[in-house]
Amino acid sequence: MNLIIDVGNSFVKLAVFKSSKLLHKEVVEHHLILNQFNLLIKKYNLINKGIISSVGKLKKTQIKSIGKHLDLLVLDSNTKLPFKNLYKTPKTLGVDRIALVCASVEQFPDKNVLIIDAGTCITYDFVNVKNEYLGGAISPGLNMRYKSLNNLTANLPLLSSKKPKDIIGNSTKDSIHSGVVNGIVNEIDGVIVNYKLKYPDLTVILTGGDANFLSKQLKSSIFALPNFLIEGLNYILQFNTNE
């Protein structure tokens, strides 16, 4: 069995796979990672391999503690990957983006794929039919946009995401919802349109914490796959250990 640990900017996801089958998934706060890890290896005592992907803050002592219990792979720019990386600065490519590309290579082989991860940031990643990763884009995520309006102004309130009633906001709160949500939806739809002008046979994947909220409002045809990142991490682990 494989244990997947995805340390994000806001939360930690832990998942258990038996081969390619997802058996368990949970989301915890950063300070609970070791507690939940210990509970999982007791519950699933056949776990013998694991992978850690961290874009957040994970202490070396935490990694060392986890590594005592299983054969652990820490994903970084030196990890062997199942695609050709043409990114000009490969050492700065986020491990979360690497995992998403690996999932696309496994699940949508020999296709032009645009992966959109709507989380703390919105990332756009493109892999072509030749199994080449070309790059993409990074944009502020939903909550980041709400927070920036509150933090960088004197009078605008901090709001939680909500589908706008109308494109015209007739109150300050409605105007914020319209600006933030419609702005992101139009951005994503616009990016997809631009990619399809160059790659008409494009496959589009939407994943991440805000994927469900945003997918219902997009005009473009997409695959909404909430577990895409952890599936990519599991594939990387298999790719590096099943030789």
- Three-class SS of residue 132? strand
Average pLDDT for residues 39-49, to the nearest whole number? 93
In the set 96, 189, 201, 210, the catalytic residue is: 96
pLDDT at 55 (0 to 100): 84
For 156, residues 6+ apart whose C-beta sits below 8 A from its C-beta are 149, 150, 172, 176
Q: Are 27 and 13 in contact (CB under 8 A)?
A: yes
| Nearest CA-CA partner of 218 in 103, 108, 97, 116 | 116
Which amino acid does the sequence have at 50? G
Give the Cα-Cα-Cα angle 158, 161, 164 (nearest 5 degrees). 110
- Taking residue 222's Cβ as centre, other Cβ atoms within 10 Å add up to 20
Q: Are 52 and 64 in contact (CB under 8 A)?
A: no
For residue range 86-125, what is the model confidence (pLDDT) as tens digits? 999 999 999 999 999 999 999 999 999 999 999 999 999 9
For residue range 155-203, what is the model confidence (pLDDT) as tens digits? 999 999 999 999 999 999 999 999 999 999 999 999 999 999 999 999 9
Give the whole-angstrom CA distance, residue 219 versus residue 53.
32
Q: Are 25 and 14 in contact (CB under 8 A)?
A: yes
Give the whole-angstrom CA distance, residue 200 versus residue 179.
30
Residues annotated within a binding site: 6-13, 87, 94-97, 117, 120, 172
The 8-class DSSP code of residue 217 comes to T
Radius of gyration from C-alpha coordinates of the chain: 19
| Lowest mean pLDDT segment, chosen from 53-67, 147-161, 210-224 | 53-67
Residue-by-residue DSSP string for 159-209: ------S-SS-SSHHHHHHIIIIIHHHHHHHHHHHHHHHH-TT-EEEEEST
The full set of domains in the chain, from first to last, is 2-74 (3.30.420.40), 84-232 (3.30.420.40)
| Nearest CA-CA partner of 65 in 46, 44, 37, 42 | 37
pLDDT band at 243 (very low <50, low <70, confident <90, very high): low
Q: Are 138 and 187 in contact (CB under 8 A)?
A: no
Average pLDDT for residues 40-69, to the nearest whole number? 90
Distances 150 to 147, 153, 157, 187, 191 between C-alpha atoms, Å: 5, 6, 5, 21, 27
Residues annotated within a binding site for ATP: 6-13, 120
Work out whether the CA dihedral 205, 210, 215, 220 comes out positive or negative: negative
110 is catalytic: no
